[in-house]
């Protein structure tokens, strides 16, 4: 079998790239290791930058997002027993973010792909990438039968644990990594959110985040030890810990209820350079991971897709190589700024085991400065709503 582009991975980056390429008549096949249900069962990101929303519009997959997504023009930082609002819109000339779950984005893109009759092979085992310095092809097994797809390009959209980055020649790849000594315990519950907007809390017991998926579904997180286990956290323990880390008034507004999802995610920063090897491109989490504190992971995946799509469009419409050759450099310039922002937010808001009370006071001084300085608040706001592409 032959196609123009094999996309490895049916997460948001693979699906979005496939949909944009379909819009200009470029044929793709997506190979996904898991089942459709498994991909849709993962609860992850919740905050979309305006640029991400615009790209979903371009892909024709933004109708439900516009009907159901919640535009937010501010966030709050909680410390010192108070909420301090950062007015994102006022500080950025009217920009806002949209709260809409990654699960829903994935769902909308999958529906579009299916409606257009485009091919996704779910439960594709043993995906292997070949000859991406010459005439590339991809092999995989489905129901015990081996298959081969020849193609012009391979897009590695298969996340941090995928096969694409591991297929790049080791000598050519440089990686940068920082592990944080804690994780996030996240809970989803069918209860109204504590606040109209997101609340990021710095507390001496540890970080907490109040987020949401809708006006009746809440997403909450608390910082937990790296090696903690979900089974150690009953719903009651979670709600008690969350409320202890919030200012009294916000804690009083938390509606508790049974959780229907509970998971622990490690926090890390990771970047692989370059993101382009011959006819293989790395996209999204396959090339970089950020801690979720800045809400940047999914948005970075979308900005990679935007740069790669522009390069591939120039290649197929004008036979120009310059866009795809500039892909890695352009994407990485934006990636590193988001890596910096996410690291900074993480450092400012979490309790670090080895910095003690001194570290806590430094954070409080930084937060106090941040909310009282228009320059510092603006720096946060323009990063949070998304830097220019
Ligand atoms: P994904 O979503 O990991 O999708 C990769 C897909 O590839 C498949 N795959 C393979 N397929 C074939 N062969 C193989 N060998 C394969 N190996 C893997 C996988 O099954 C999967 O379907 O990567 P993608 O598309 O690059 O998307 C990245 C985003 O998922 C990620 O950056 C965000 O979820 C990060 N993130 C957040 N990002 C935001 O922008 N805003 C947020 O508010 C936000 N919150 C979060 C987050 C991530 C979190 N966790 C759990 C890590 C909150 C959390 C808790
Ligand atoms: C979420 O709603 O899952 C979420 C929101 C903001 C973040 C991270 C996660 O910074």
Backbone angles phi, psi at 56, to 5 degrees: -65, -35
Q: Which ligand is nearest to the CA of 219?
A: 2
293: Cβ below 6 Å to ligand 2? yes
Query: How much is the mean pLDDT over the chain?
Result: 97
SS3 labels along 122-150? CCCEEEEEECCCCCCEEEEEECCEEEEEE
Q: Which residues have C-beta atoms less than 6 Å from ligand 1?
A: 8-14, 31-34, 39, 44-47, 102, 124, 127, 157-159, 161-163, 184, 186, 265, 284-285, 292, 295-299, 301
Q: Does the pLDDT value for residue 215 go beyond 90?
A: yes
Q: Measured from the CB, is residue 292 less than 6 Å from ligand 2? A: yes
Q: What is the pLDDT of residues 231-283, one digit of tens each?
A: 999 999 999 999 999 999 999 999 999 999 999 999 999 999 999 999 999 99
Task: Give all domains of the chain, ordered by start, each with its CATH number.
Answer: 5-70+102-176+268-345 (3.50.50.60), 180-266+352-385 (3.30.9.10)
Reply yes or no on whether the pLDDT at 389 is more than 90: no
* Confidence grade of residue 357 (pLDDT, cut at 50, 70, 90): confident
Q: What is the 47 CA–ligand 2 centroid distance (Å)? A: 6
Is the pLDDT assigned to residue 317 strictly greater than 90? yes
Of the candidates 37, 32, 41, which has an alpha carbon nearest to the alpha carbon of residue 9? 32
Tell me, using a 6 A CB cutoff, whether residue 48 lines ligand 2: no
What integer is the mean pLDDT of 341-363? 94
HEC secondary structure over 170-198: HHHCEEEEEEEEEEEEEEEECCCCCCCCE
Q: Does the structure show a pLDDT above 90 at 314?
A: yes
- CA–CA separation, 45 and 269 (whole Å): 16
- The model's pTM: 0.96
pLDDT at 44: 87
Among 165-174, 315-324, 354-363, the least confident range = 354-363
The pLDDT confidence band at residue 218, using thresholds 50, 70 and 90, is: very high
| Ligand 2 atom, smallest distance to 211 CA | 2
SS3 assignment for 319-335: CCCHHHHHHHHHHHHHH
Q: Residue range 48-69: average pLDDT? A: 97
Angle at 342 between CA 341 and CA 343, to 5 degrees: 90
What's the burial of 215, exposed, middle or buried (CB within 10 Å: 0-12/13-18/19+)? Answer: exposed
263 forms beta bridges with: 186
Interval 321-332 mean pLDDT: 97
Q: Which tens digit of pLDDT belongs to each residue from 162-213?
A: 999 999 999 999 999 999 999 999 999 999 999 999 999 999 999 999 999 9
Token readout for 354 is 């080895």
What's the mean pLDDT in 36-61?
A: 95
Give the model confidence (pLDDT) of 5-45 as tens digits. Answer: 999 999 999 999 999 999 999 999 999 999 999 999 888 88
Compute the distance from residue 187 Cα to the ligand 2 centre, in Å.
11
Closest ligand 1 atom to the C-alpha of 162? 17
Q: What is the pLDDT of residue 311?
A: 98
Alpha helices (H) in 197-321, listed in sequence order: 235-244, 248-252, 297-318
pLDDT at residue 109 tops 90:
yes
Instruction: Give the residue-averaged pLDDT of 135-151.
Output: 98
Probe ligand 1: pick from 113, 162, 222, max atoms within 8 Å of CB? Answer: 162
Which residue in this structure is represented by tokens 């996340």? 159
pLDDT, tens digit, 9 for 90 and up, residues 74-91: 999 999 999 999 999 999
Instruction: Determine the residue of 44, 47, 49 to mutate for testing ligand 2's pocket, defined as the one with the most ligand atoms within 8 A of the Cβ atom.
Output: 47
How would you classify the pairing of strands 28-31 and 119-121? parallel
């Amino acid at each position: 079998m032959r196609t123009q582009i094999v996309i490895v991975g049916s997460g948001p980056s693979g699906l979005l790239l496939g949909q944009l390429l379909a819009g200009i008549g470029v044929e793709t096949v997506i190979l996904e290791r898991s089942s459709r249900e498994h991909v849709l069962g993962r609860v992850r990101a919740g905050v979309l930058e305006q640029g991400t929303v615009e790209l979903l519009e371009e892909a024709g997959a933004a109708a439900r997002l516009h009907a159901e997504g919640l535009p937010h023009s501010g966030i709050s930082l909680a410390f010192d027993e108070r909420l301090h609002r950062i007015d994102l819109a006022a500080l950025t000339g009217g920009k806002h973010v949209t709260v809409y779950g990654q699960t829903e984005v994935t769902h909308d893109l999958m529906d579009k792909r299916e409606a257009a009759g485009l091919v996704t092979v779910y439960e594709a085992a043993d995906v292997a990438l070949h000859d991406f310095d010459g005439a590339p092809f991809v092999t995989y097994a489905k129901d015990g039968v081996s298959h081969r797809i020849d193609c012009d390009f391979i897009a590695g959209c298969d996340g941090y644990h995928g096969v694409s980055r591991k297929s790049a020649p080791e000598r050519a790849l440089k990686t940068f990594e920082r592990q944080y000594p804690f994780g996030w315990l996240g809970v989803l519950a069918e209860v109204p959110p504590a606040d109209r907007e997101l609340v990021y809390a710095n507390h001496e017991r540890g970080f907490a985040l109040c987020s949401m998926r809708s006006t009746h579904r809440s997403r909450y997180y608390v910082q937990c030890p790296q090696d903690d286990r979900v089974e150690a956290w009953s719903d009651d323990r979670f709600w008690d810990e969350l409320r202890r880390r919030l200012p009294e008034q916000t804690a009083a507004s938390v509606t508790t209820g049974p959780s229907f999802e509970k998971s622990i995610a490690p926090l890390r920063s990771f970047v692989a350079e370059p993101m382009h090897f011959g006819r293989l491109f790395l996209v999204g989490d396959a090339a970089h991971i950020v801690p979720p504190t800045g809400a940047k992971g999914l948005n970075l995946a979308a900005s990679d897709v935007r740069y790669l799509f522009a390069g591939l469009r120039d290649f197929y419409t004008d036979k120009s190589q310059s866009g795809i050759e500039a892909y890695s450099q352009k994407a990485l310039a934006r990636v590193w700024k988001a890596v910096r922002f996410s690291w900074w937010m993480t450092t400012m808001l979490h309790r670090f085991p080895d910095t003690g009370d001194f570290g806590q006071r430094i954070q409080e001084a930084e937060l106090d400065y941040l909310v009282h300085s228009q320059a510092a608040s603006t720096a946060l706001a323009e990063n949070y709503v998304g830097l220019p592409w």
